[in-house]
Amino acid sequence: MENLFIAATPSSPEVSFDFTRHVLSLKGESYPENAAVFYGEAVARLRKYLSDCDGASVTVNVALTYFNSSSTKMLFSMFDALNEAAERGNEIRLHWFHDEDDDTILEFGQELHADFPAIDFIDEVTTSS
Amino acid sequence: MTAAQSIDNEYEPFFAMARERNVIFYYVGYFSQNIIAAMSDAVRLQLSVSGVDGATRRKLFSSFVEMAQNIVHYSSDSLTSPSQADGHLRHGSVCISMVDEHYRLMCSNPVSTARVAQLRGTLERVRTMTLDEIKRAYKETLRAEVPEGSKGAGLGILTMARDASAPLEYNFQPIDSDPVSTMFQLVATI
């Protein structure tokens, strides 16, 4: 399946879905005008990729420094899809990056961890620049 | 009248008022995604040089973006067609000021009068919630389907309520010249 790469803008993250190497990354800021439009293709491609995964080992890196409310909704549906793939026997490792004093992103990560137990959740603390 | 006198007369009262009210940022005009991204830069820079702690900065920034994007999504004063998915230009204003030890974020834009009752209902409900209840409602909304007519996830108001240190305040003012629109004002204290 063809890889997906979307370059970052000031208000949308870099999306790098390297399906051939099973490494999926989101990095940057996320407050696009229309999160459903921005994430629409990424979610569709992700679901298609995951439906073909069988016993795969997938690494997911999420290093978002800020996401707005509508991006949160889209991220949640992405993790839902990843969790389903993990329940079907794929190994999904989620590296959740957040600043050491960013409680909002830390708490959202903890919720994901509680809601999607099939995903192997790794909390990655970074220090402020 | 000299140029200096005219500046004194016409601009000084405006600057004096802004100083007096500790206005840090104010914008009125059309909002687009690019304008919001540029304003976000300005607000972030302002907050980082003012030495506000990281947690407060993030909360302020988050509420600022939610307010500005609400204007792009819902202001009834629009230059663009409602049928397009993005690229909207809609009118409103945002203001950040300091009141005592707190930051106050205000925004204002006209909304369709038909939406007022629903918006008021949502805001009233959120205003009576404790922080725990806000967080619970946030979790439930995150897992629920997107409400009809909402371009965001219906999470914006809960996000602002979660980040605020006091209940959100709001006001609806009828617009005499245009009864199908109502001026909506929202205040979040961080």
Q: How far apart are CA A45 and CA A60, in angstroms?
A: 15
Which of the 8 DSSP states describes residue A87? Answer: H
Residue B156 distance to chain A (closest CA, Å): 6
Give the A:B interface size as CB pairs under 8 Å.
76
Please report, in tens digits, the pLDDT of each residue of chain A (129 residues total). Answer: 899 999 999 999 999 999 999 999 999 999 999 999 999 999 999 999 999 999 999 999 999 999 999 999 999 999 999 999 999 999 999 999 999 989 899 999 999 999 999 999 999 999 875
CB contact under 8 A, B158 and A66: no
Sign of CA dihedral A76, A81, A84, A89: negative
Mean pLDDT of chain B: 92
Strand partners, A31: none
Q: How confident is the model at residue B20 (pLDDT cuts 50, 70, 90)?
A: very high
Q: How far apart are CA B49 and CA A80, in angstroms?
A: 39
> Are residues A100 and A127 in contact, defined by beta-carbon separation less than 8 angstroms?
yes
Residue B8 has pLDDT above 90, yes or no: no
Number of domains in chain A: 1
The range of the structural domain enclosing residue A20 comes to 4-126
Query: What's the helix, strand, coil split of chain A in %, to 5?
Result: 40, 35, 25
> Are residues B139 and B131 in contact, defined by beta-carbon separation less than 8 angstroms?
no
Residue B147 has pLDDT above 80, yes or no: no
Walk me through the domains of chain B, giving residue ranges and CATH numbers.
3-189 (3.30.565.10)
> Are residues A39 and A72 in contact, defined by beta-carbon separation less than 8 angstroms?
no
Residue of A30, A41, A70, A101 to mutate for B, most B C-beta atoms under 10 A: A70
Pairing of strands B23-31, B90-99: antiparallel
As a whole number, mean pLDDT of residues B88-116 equals 96
Collect all residues from A whose CB is shorter than 8 A from any CB in B: 9-11, 31-37, 66, 68-70, 72-73, 76, 99, 101-104, 111, 128
What's the pTM?
0.93
Q: How confident is the model at residue B83 (pLDDT cuts 50, 70, 90)?
A: confident
What pLDDT is attached to residue B152?
52
CATH number at residue A37: 3.30.750
Q: Which of B66, B44, B40, B69 is CA-nearest to residue B57?
A: B44
Residue B70 distance to chain A (closest CA, Å): 10
Q: 91-120 in B: which are within 8 Å (CB) of A?
A: none
CB contact under 8 A, B151 and A70: yes
Query: Could you tell me how far CA B24 lies from the centroid of its own chain?
Result: 14
**Following DSSP, what letter does each residue of A28-70 receive, concatenated?**
EEE--S-HHHHHHHHHHHHHHHHHH-SS-EEEEEEEEEEE-HH
Helical packing angle, A69-87 and A35-52, nearest 10°: 10
Q: Where are the strands (E) in chain B, listed by range?
A: 23-31, 90-99, 102-112, 169-174, 181-189
> Are residues A77 and A44 in contact, defined by beta-carbon separation less than 8 angstroms?
no
Q: 13-52 in B: which are within 8 Å (CB) of A?
A: 33, 36-37, 40-41
Q: Which of A9, A54, A40 is CA-nearest to residue A27?
A: A9
As a whole number, mean pLDDT of residues B22-49 equals 95
Using CB atoms, which residue from A36, A73, A103 is nearest to B155? Answer: A73
Residue B186 has pLDDT above 90, yes or no: yes
